[in-house]
Amino acid sequence: MKILVVDDEALLVKGIRFNLQNDGYEVVTGSNGLEAVELANDPQIDLIILDIMMPEMDGLTACTKIRETSNVPIILLTAKADDMDKLLGFDCGADDYITKPFNILELKARIRALIRRAKITSEKQTNTLEIGHICLDLDARNAYNSGKLVELTAKEFDVIEFLMRNANRVYSREALLDSIWAYEYRSDIRTLDVHIRRLREKLELDPAKPQYIMTKWGVGYYFRK
């Protein structure tokens, strides 16, 4: 996930960036409202942390301008605890609000909650499944690898959809055959192995070292989330 952090307090930005990067987030930073609006144009941004009191352009104005083109979740930072400031922030399109000084653990929790909520909303609107660089359009039954359309057979799509819907759960070959082929090829374990190999070739960045379509040796397969 990619997070934009914009604040004119350099030490605060440095601290937030350090903590978020340690949690595996990619972090982009800015120091004023104009930079916030410009950097927010990046379609890969998943969440924005935006200070209210900044030079060039204040955070409320920046938030309003960002909302003209983006629905990405926005957390506003402020040194004030005034309810009016909070109301103004929400009126400008902010999703959450945190007052300085704050506990970094609270900020992380709010980030996780907003990203989770945004993902659920996106899935409901577009009926997609997306984990990492792999995305499934469930209505059109299309698969995408890093945004590029990948041609899957009907059964390959069934396999990857089942594994992604049940991410991190390990299934034996027999269980997968029962669930997807409905006993049709119960006696031919190789059928599933071939489909897994082809899915890795089409969807993994490095099929020899898969990140998502995993083997649990001696047990079966699972999709790692």
Q: Which of 70-74, 160-164, 167-171, 213-217 has the lowest mean pLDDT?
A: 70-74
Confidence of residue 96 (pLDDT cuts 50, 70, 90): confident
Confidence of residue 21 (pLDDT cuts 50, 70, 90): very high
Question: Do 93 and 34 fall within a single domain?
Answer: yes
Question: Under DSSP, is residue 210 helix (H, G, I), strand (E, B) or coil?
Answer: coil
Nearby residues of 141 by Cβ (< 8 Å), 6 or more positions away = 154, 157
Question: Do 95 and 22 fall within a single domain?
Answer: yes
Which CATH number fits the domain that encloses residue 211? 1.10.10.10
Question: Which of these three, 126, 144, 161, is where a domain ends?
Answer: 126
Mean pLDDT calculated for residue range 25-43 = 93
Pairing of strands 134-137, 142-145: antiparallel
Question: Do 40 and 95 fall within a single domain?
Answer: yes
> What's the rounded Cα separation, in Å, for the pair 168 and 199?
17
Confidence of residue 8 (pLDDT cuts 50, 70, 90): very high
Question: Do 6 and 85 fall within a single domain?
Answer: yes
Nearby residues of 92 by Cβ (< 8 Å), 6 or more positions away = 60, 61, 63, 64, 67
pLDDT tens-place string over residues 150-207:
999 888 999 999 999 999 999 998 888 888 876 554 556 778 899 999 999 999 999 9
Residue 174 is given by DSSP the state H
pLDDT tens-place string over residues 109-141:
989 988 888 776 666 566 889 999 999 999 899
pLDDT tens-place string over residues 102-111:
899 999 998 9
Model pTM above 0.75: no
Question: Do 86 and 177 fall within a single domain?
Answer: no
Q: Is 65 left (phi over 0), alpha (psi -120 to 50) or beta?
A: alpha
Confidence of residue 89 (pLDDT cuts 50, 70, 90): confident
The residue range of the domain holding 102 is 2-126
Number of domains in the chain: 2
